[in-house]
Amino acid sequence: MGEGEGGGDEETEREKNMEKINRGMLRFFTDHYKPEIIGIVGTKHTIGLAIREAQKAVTVDREASLWSHCFIFGDLRLDRRGKGGKKSRSPYIFESDLKVNVFKPQLRNGAQENWVGKHCREVVENAGVIDFGLSEDVIENILATALQLVDEQVLYPIQELLGTWWAIITNREWLPNPVDDRHAMYCSAFVRHCYKKAGADFLKRVSVSNTTPEHIAQAGIKAGKLIRFRG
């Protein structure tokens, strides 16, 4: 396809996707945006609910967790998400995620940079941000580590999730994950790794490779830094 061909179709698809966005949630993330803060969400699709259910053993009330995924805010970037494909500026995030599109030959596995609106859909039931109020130098180190992991194409480890689940039910989260892969991290381990590398670790009794979204949420609550979206 030559340059400029198919632009109308792409614009229509982009506008359709924007119509599915929870505008209130997008505004929440944009209003609270700061580079390096943690975003946290809980989804209600099958995988999200399974992850939330699997964290029962580490929640305070032993009920399913509110949270299933987390990420790090990166830069404000210019894109074409404005009305009619106009330029707009909005937050982009660093995360480790696994996305399989059954209708297109597409697989996105591991560390990646995405638009924050990806996590502002109907399927997202809970959302929040955690800002630990770190120094500029620490913030830069967190973002540098996150970008490096994206560049190195660190993968999303399905097997490591099973190792974390086993550590939780046997109450051994402080031990390294038995199936830890140094070139693979799921979402919450990715976030924790970036913070730890920058000297800003916020958890002491849990191995990085066993870190869950619930652990991160509890650290935010304990520090009085978790702000929840009220839609």
Do the domain assignments include residue 6?
no
CATH code where residue 196 lies: 3.90.1720.10
- Tell me how many domains the chain contains: 1
Indicate the residue type of 17.
Answer: N
The boundaries of the domain holding residue 152 are: 20-228
Q: Residue 96 CA to chain centroid, in angstroms?
A: 7
Distance CA 81, CA 24 (A): 16
Do the domain assignments include residue 10?
no
Do the domain assignments include residue 50?
yes
136 contacts: CB under 8 Å, gap ≥ 6: none
Indicate the residue type of 97.
Answer: D
pLDDT of residue 17: 60
Do the domain assignments include residue 142?
yes
pLDDT of residue 225: 98
On whether the CB atoms of residues 156 and 109 are closer than 8 A, the answer is yes
pLDDT of residue 18: 63
Do the domain assignments include residue 82?
yes
Do the domain assignments include residue 210?
yes
Task: List the pLDDT tens digit at each of the 231 positions of the chain.
Answer: 344 444 455 555 555 566 689 999 999 999 999 999 999 999 999 989 999 999 999 999 999 999 999 999 999 999 998 888 899 999 999 999 987 554 554 556 899 999 999 999 999 999 999 999 999 999 999 999 999 999 999 876 666 555 555 555 556 555 565 545 565 788 999 999 999 999 999 998 898 988 999 999 999 999 999 999 997
pLDDT of residue 102: 46
Handedness of CA 38, 231, 228, 43 (dihedral sign): negative
pTM, to two decimals: 0.83
Distance CA 157, CA 180 (A): 9
Do the domain assignments include residue 115?
yes
Do the domain assignments include residue 91?
yes
